[in-house]
C-alpha cells in the first residue's frame, strides 16, 4: 500500500488558495466575447484522406468504418452523448444511491457502466458491459461498501466486447500517494499529443480511452496534495471534461473544464450527503436537493476535514466565458432536468412554439412527434398552433443493439423495429411531425415514407434545432462532415431527399433571441462550424475541405 499523505484543513486551504483565479465565478456570467479563445489542439485523423468520409472518431478514440454499421445507424440516426457521471459523499448507502443515480442517467450511455467505492482506505470497483441493471445486482452492490462512491455510464459507437470492457469507467490506478478512481464525461482534443508525450517518458497505456491520460498526469505530479495534482493535470488538458474522483483517503473531487462544455451539478441529501451528477434528474431520484452547477473551470473538494465543499479554480487556461453544449437542451438531457441553469422542458417547449410561429402549416389536422426527444417540442408546436397533439408514432423501448434480421429483406426494417405508426390518427390527415434534429437524413426519409404508407395525406417535417453542418469534438459522437446532410444540401434539397411536403428548421436568430443575454454562453459549433477551441494545423488536417470552406464562409 502506498504511503498516505495527510494535512490539516488549514494548511490544505492555504496551499489551495494559491491556485485561485484572480476573478470570481460570476465573471463567467458576463456575456461579452471579445475574440475567439485560441488553443492548440490535436485530433485523430485518418491516414486515408479519400476514405475519411466513411470514418468517425468514437468515444474510445478509434476510427470506425461506418459501412460496417449501416443497420445500427439507420435505427437511431442521432448524435450520441458519450457518458454520464455520478459522485456521492457521506452516505452509508452510497453504492445503492449511486446505482439509482446511474439509472437516471442511463439515457447518456447504454453500453457500459461502473462504480468505485471507498471504505477503510480500500478502493473497490465493479464495471461491466450493458445497462446499469445488467452490470449491478444485490450481490455486486454488497461488494461495494462505504459512504463514498463514483459511477459512470458509457456510450461507444462500436468495439468488440473485450476491448470495450477495458474502456468502461471509472478507471482505478495506484500512485506513490495512494489509489484513486476517476469517471469522465467529455473528450480531450489534445489526447493524442498528451499520450505521445507520456509514452515518450515511459508511461504504459492499457486502454484506448482519452481518460487514461488523466491518471498518468496525476500519477506523475510531484504535488503532495491530491487536489493540487488534479489542478495541475487539468491545466494540461484541452477540450471538454466533467470529472469526479475518489481517493483511498476519503476525498471526493469534482471538476469541470473552463468552457463548461458538459454539465455537472451539485446537490445535497437531507442527511448532509453531497451528490454530484451530470443532470439534476439523478439528484431527484436519490432525493438530493439541487444547489448549483459546478462552475466552468471550478474544482470542488469534499473530505472529512471540512463540513462544506471547498471550491477552487484553474489558473489556466483562461477563456473569456463558458461555451456550454446547446445540444444538451435540444436532445441529450432528460426533459425533467435543469441543465446550465435552465429547464430542459421549458427550452424544448419554447423551440416548438417558435417553429409554430415562424413555420406554420396551414390547415394541418394533427401534430405528432418522433419519440422520445421530439415530444416536448411537438407539444409546444401544437399548443401555439392550436392543433391537437396526438401520439402518431409509438416507440418500442425493447430493441437492443443486436437483432436477427429476417432472411427476406423488409424495407426500413431498422426504423420499423423502433417506431410504429398509428393508422387511426394518420389516415387522411395533414400531419406535422416534429423531431429534434436531422443528422444524415436516412431515418427521417424512412419516417416520412412510413407515415405516408400509414395513410397520411401530407407530412410536414419541423425540426426543433438549426441544421447541423459540423462535427463535434467536445464529447458528442457525431458523423463526419460529409455525412451531415445539412452540410451537403440546402433545406429544399433535404425536403426532396426525405420526401416531406415541407421542411423547416429552427432559425438560428430566433434560437439565440430565446436565450437572451445568455446566448453567448453556449457552443453552437455544430450549427456554425466555428469552434470555441480553434484547431491547430494538426487538427485542421483531420477536418475535411468542406468543413474548412464552411468555417471560412461564416
Q: Residues annotated in the binding site for Mg(2+), as ranges?
A: 373, 435-436
Does residue 83 carry a catalytic annotation? yes
- Angle of helix 226-234 versus helix 212-220 axis, rounded to 10: 120
For residue 214, what is the enclosing H or E element?
Answer: helix 212-220
Transcribe 98-144 into DSSP letters.
Answer: HHHHHHHTGGG--SEEEEEEEETTEEEEEEEES-HHHH--HHHHHT-
| Strand 80-81 with 342-343, pairing | unpaired
Instruction: Spell out the residues 6+ positions from residue 390 whose beta carbon is closer than 8 angstroms to its own.
Output: 366, 367, 368, 422, 425
CA dist 460 and 222 (Å) reads 61
Write the CB contacts of 226 (distance below 8 Å, at least 6 apart in sequence): 177, 180, 218, 245, 247, 249, 251, 253
CA triple 147-232-254, angle to 5 deg: 30
The edge-to-edge listing of strands for the beta sheet with 148-154 is 122-129, 112-119, 148-154, 83-89, 274-277, 265-269, 288-293
Name 473's Cβ contacts closer than 8 Å, sequence gap at least 6. Answer: 41, 43, 187, 189, 239, 531, 533
CA geometry: angle 527, 532, 537, nearest 5 deg: 100
DSSP annotation of 300 reads: E
Q: In angstroms, rounded to a whole number, what is the distance separating the alpha carbons of residues 370 and 391?
A: 9
For residue 89, which of 234, 218, 245, 211 has the smallest C-alpha distance? 245
User: Do 450 and 415 contact (CB within 8 A), yes or no?
Assistant: yes
Helix ranges restricted to H, 286-406 = 327, 344-358, 375-385
| CA 318 – CA 310 distance, rounded (Å) | 21
Binding residues for [4Fe-4S] cluster: 325, 472, 523, 526
Q: Which segments are annotated as binding site?
A: 325, 373, 435-436, 472, 523, 526
Pure H helices in 303-458: 327, 344-358, 375-385, 413-418, 423-426, 442-453
Eight-class DSSP state of 212 = H
The one catalytic residue among 41, 83, 234, 364: 83
265: burial class by Cβ within 10 Å (0-12, 13-18, 19+)?
A: buried
Active site residues: 83
Amino acid at each position: 500500500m502506498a504511503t498516505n499523505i495527510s494535512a490539516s484543513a488549514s494548511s490544505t486551504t492555504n496551499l489551495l488558495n494559491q491556485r485561485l483565479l484572480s476573478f470570481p465565478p460570476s465573471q463567467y456570467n458576463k456575456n461579452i466575447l471579445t475574440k475567439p479563445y485560441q488553443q492548440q489542439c490535436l485530433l485523430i485523423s485518418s491516414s486515408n484522406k479519400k476514405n475519411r468520409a466513411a470514418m468517425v472518431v468514437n468515444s474510445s478514440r478509434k476510427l470506425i468504418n461506418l459501412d460496417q454499421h449501416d443497420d445500427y445507424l439507420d435505427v437511431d440516426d442521432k448524435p450520441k452523448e458519450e457518458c454520464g457521471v455520478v459522485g456521492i459523499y457521506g452516505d452509508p448507502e452510497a453504492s445503492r444511491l449511486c446505482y439509482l443515480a446511474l439509472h437516471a442517467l442511463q439515457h447518456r450511455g447504454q453500453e457500459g457502466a461502473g462504480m468505485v467505492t471507498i471504505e477503510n482506505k480500500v478502493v473497490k470497483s465493479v464495471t461491466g458491459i450493458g445497462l446499469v441493471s445488467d452490470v449491478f445486482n444485490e450481490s455486486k452492490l454488497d461488494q461495494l461498501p462505504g459512504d463514498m462512491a463514483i459511477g459512470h455510464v458509457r456510450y461507444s459507437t462500436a468495439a468488440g466486447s473485450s476491448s470495450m470492457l477495458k474502456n468502461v469507467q471509472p478507471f482505478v490506478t495506484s500512485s506513490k500517494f495512494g489509489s484513486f478512481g476517476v469517471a469522465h464525461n467529455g473528450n480531450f482534443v489534445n489526447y493524442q499529443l498528451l499520450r505521445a508525450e507520456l509514452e515518450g517518458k515511459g508511461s504504459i497505456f492499457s486502454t484506448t480511452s482519452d481518460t487514461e491520460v488523466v491518471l498518468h498526469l496525476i500519477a506523475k505530479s510531484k504535488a503532495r496534495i491530491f487536489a493540487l495534482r488534479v489542478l495541475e493535470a487539468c491545466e494540461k488538458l484541452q477540450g471538454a471534461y466533467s470529472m469526479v474522483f475518489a481517493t483511498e483517503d476519503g476525498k471526493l473531487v469534482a471538476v469541470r473544464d473552463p468552457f463548461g462544455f458538459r454539465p455537472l451539478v451539485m446537490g445535497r441529501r437531507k442527511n448532509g450527503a453531497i451528490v454530484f451528477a451530470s443532470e439534476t434528474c439523478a439528484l431527484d431520484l436519490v432525493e438530493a436537493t439541487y444547489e448549483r452547477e459546478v462552475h466552468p473551470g471550478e474544482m470542488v473538494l469534499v473530505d472529512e476535514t471540512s463540513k462544506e465543499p471547498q471550491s477552487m479554480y484553474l489558473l489556466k487556461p483562461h477563456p473569456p466565458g463558458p461555451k456550454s453544449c446547446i445540444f444538451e437542451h435540444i436532445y441529450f438531457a432528460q426533459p425533467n432536468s435543469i441543465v446550465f441553469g435552465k429547464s430542459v422542458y421549458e427550452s424544448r417547449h419554447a423551440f416548438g412554439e417558435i417553429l409554430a410561429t415562424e413555420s406554420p402549416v396551414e390547415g394541418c389536422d394533427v401534430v405528432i412527434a418522433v419519440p422520445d426527444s421530439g415530444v416536448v417540442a411537438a407539444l409546444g408546436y401544437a399548443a401555439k398552433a392550436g392543433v391537437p397533439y396526438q401520439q402518431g408514432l409509438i416507440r418500442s423501448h425493447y430493441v437492443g443493439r443486436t437483432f436477427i434480421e429476417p432472411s427476406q429483406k423488409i424495407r426500413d426494417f431498422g426504423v420499423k423495429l423502433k417506431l410504429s405508426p398509428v393508422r387511426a390518427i394518420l389516415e387522411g390527415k395533414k400531419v406535422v411531425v416534429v423531431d429534434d434534429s436531422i443528422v444524415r437524413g436516412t431515418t427521417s426519409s424512412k419516417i416520412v415514407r412510413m407515415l405516408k404508407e400509414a395513410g397520411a395525406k401530407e407530412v410536414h417535417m419541423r425540426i426543433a434545432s438549426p441544421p447541423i453542418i459540423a462535427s463535434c469534438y467536445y464529447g458528442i459522437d457525431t458523423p463526419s462532415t460529409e455525412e451531415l446532410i445539412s452540410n451537403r444540401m440546402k433545406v429544399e434539397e433535404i425536403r426532396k431527399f426525405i420526401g416531406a411536403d415541407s421542411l423547416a428548421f429552427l432559425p438560428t436568430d430566433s434560437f439565440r433571441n430565446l436565450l437572451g443575454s445568455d446566448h453567448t454562453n453556449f457552443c453552437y459549433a455544430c450549427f456554425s462550424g466555428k469552434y470555441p477551441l480553434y484547431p491547430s494545423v494538426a487538427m485542421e488536417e483531420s477536418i475535411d475541405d468542406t468543413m474548412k470552406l464552411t468555417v471560412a464562409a461564416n
